[in-house]
Structure 1
Amino acid sequence: MNVIDAIQTRYTTKAFEPGRSLPQASVDALLALLQYCPSSVNSQPWHFVVASTAEGRARMAKATAGTYGFNESKVVNASHVIALCMRTDLDAAHLNAVLEQEARDGRFQSDAAKAGQDTVRRTFVDIHRYEQRDMAQWMEKQVYLALGSLLTGAAVLGIDATPMEGFDSRALDTEFGLRERGLTSVVMASFGYRSEEDFNAKLPKSRLPREEVFTFI
């Protein structure tokens, strides 16, 4: 399936068929989409919690209790659920880890090139930390870039998916000890096989017309 066909036919799955698991090759493809997605100055300010077992999904589902109960079935009946999390800060340890990984991957032809990359990245980090004072929002934007890559890739792979902001991030953070690790959850996404009871599968896609969403100059 080409990417345009995939985007035009994908939709948000409202009901998954319980008990069906994605093949490992499909799961590995989803993980690769996250690992290699773009981020501003390659900052990679994220971490991903993957629930692949009934026990793991049940732990994820604790964050859908009460107000967000309408999303519980989308978590427990899916094959895999991924919580996309962001760092609470881009500290020196993380920036150094990214830089050294780039060096191991052969991105620098000289020490000067390595130092230059480090300076550029830290400059942007400092802009968002001090001048714009929007570090959290900037990192959150990178997580949503990851989500976009993930959903588009899932569509191309023919994997049914549901992105969800409807969950208690404090409950999820507590369940997995995220805040103690300098992380906080942003959004979740479930993957698996649509149920025959999924009403959304039968509805036509609806988007605003092209003339309303594009300006050509």
Structure 2
Amino acid sequence: MNLPDILKHRHTTKAYDKNRKIPAPVVVQLLEALRYSPSSVNSQPWHFFVADNDEGKARIAKATSGPCAFNAPRVMNASHVIVLSARTSLPPEYLETLADQEQADGRYADEEARAQAHKGRAFFVGLHEQAGDVATWSQKQTYIAQGFLLLSAALLGVDATPMEGFDAAILSEELGLKEQGLAPAVIVALGYHSDADFNAKLPKSRLPEKAVFSHL
């Protein structure tokens, strides 16, 4: 594996081959990439909605109407489509759920260790609650998960399209996000590009190293 070659080959897919499906074992790995993505204080402030059939994809595609209609074929023709949503709040009961899971996974040597970890996480959540930006903070963490998904897809030979071009209000209503304490962050289509994908044929273009790096 040569990481630079994979990074240069990865591109935002513009058209999908509707007849090609991602093998189930590969899908499992992609979902694990999302689940194991890092987040601040292991807050995991996200939920992922996965559509792998026409009915599910059509529900998501409702949000690509009007000015975002150009994204509808990408949603409908991809093998799988994932809505990455972020929690709008991190209430005490959710923080307890995180602590319970960490304890079940063996991360605490004893109750004191659990208490200290829980106190630390609650402290940082409290800072964001005071600042009034918990929802924004959660969205930032969710975008980390998107990065992990895109890189994992490229490593596994799967094409992807991250999309912010959708009506958040429509998608929220269709998936009942508000009632679940969630807000949509980004949609990612996954599959294999078709011959109509012009972007697959274009060279990668990025600013030169000297423009983006400063060595201190």
Give the TM-score, by structure 1 length: 0.98
SS at match of 1:118: helix
Whichever residue aligns with residue 52 of structure 2, its letter is S
Note if contact 1:86-1:143 (Cα within 8 Å) is conserved in structure 2. yes
**Aligned pair count?**
216
For residues 72-107 of structure 1, what are the alpha-carbon distances to aligned partners after superposition, in whole Å with 9 as ceiling and x for unaligned? Answer: 000000000000000110011211111100000000
SS at match of 1:12: coil
What corresponds to 2:183 in structure 1? 184
What corresponds to 1:168 in structure 2? 167
Give the C-alpha shift of residue 3 in structure 1. 2.9
Give the C-alpha shift of residue 37 in structure 1. 0.4
Whichever residue aligns with residue 196 of structure 1, its letter is D
What corresponds to 2:46 in structure 1? 46
SS at match of 1:103: helix
Give the distance between the partners of 1:25 and 1:122, measured in 2 at CA.
37
What corresponds to 1:124 in structure 2? 124
Give the C-alpha shift of residue 210 in structure 1. 0.1
Note if contact 1:50-1:80 (Cα within 8 Å) is conserved in structure 2. yes
Note if contact 1:46-1:85 (Cα within 8 Å) is conserved in structure 2. yes
What corresponds to 1:63 in structure 2? 63
Give the C-alpha shift of residue 169 in structure 1. 1.1
Give the C-alpha shift of residue 8 in structure 1. 1.7
Give the distance between the partners of 1:147 and 1:188, measured in 2 at CA.
9
Give the C-alpha shift of residue 178 in structure 1. 1.2
Give the distance between the partners of 1:116 and 1:175, measured in 2 at CA.
40
Give the distance between the partners of 1:179 and 1:155, measured in 2 at CA.
32
Q: Which runs of 5+ in 2 are unaligned?
A: none
For residues 44-79 of structure 1, what are the alpha-carbon distances to aligned partners after superposition, in whole Å with 9 as ceiling and x for unaligned? Answer: 000000001011111110000111001000000000
Give the distance between the partners of 1:22 and 1:83, measured in 2 at CA.
17
Give the distance between the partners of 1:143 and 1:168, measured in 2 at CA.
18
SS at match of 1:216: coil
1:35 aligns with 2:35: yes
Give the C-alpha shift of residue 187 in structure 1. 0.3
What corresponds to 1:93 in structure 2? 93
Give the distance between the partners of 2:206 and 2:125, measured in 1 at CA.
36
What corresponds to 1:209 in structure 2? 208
Give the C-alpha shift of residue 19 in structure 1. 2.4
Give the distance between the partners of 2:3 and 2:135, measured in 1 at CA.
31
What aligned pairs does 1:135-174 form with structure 2 within 5 A after superposition?
135-174=134-173
Give the distance between the partners of 1:122 and 1:37, measured in 2 at CA.
20
Identity of paired residues, percent? 51
Note if contact 1:52-1:80 (Cα within 8 Å) is conserved in structure 2. yes
Give the distance between the partners of 1:46 and 1:3, measured in 2 at CA.
28
Q: Which runs of 5+ in 1 are unaligned?
A: none
What corresponds to 1:81 in structure 2? 81
SS at match of 2:124: helix
Whichever residue aligns with residue 120 of structure 1, its letter is G
For residues 89-137 of structure 1, what are the alpha-carbon distances to aligned partners after superposition, in whole Å with 9 as ceiling and x for unaligned? Answer: 001121111110000000000111100000110010011110x322111
**Which stretches of structure 1, 4 residues or longer, exceed 4 Å deviation after superposition?**
none
For residues 173-215 of structure 1, what are the alpha-carbon distances to aligned partners after superposition, in whole Å with 9 as ceiling and x for unaligned? Answer: 1111111111111100000010001100111000000001000
Bigger mean CA deviation after superposition, 87-96 or 205-214: 87-96
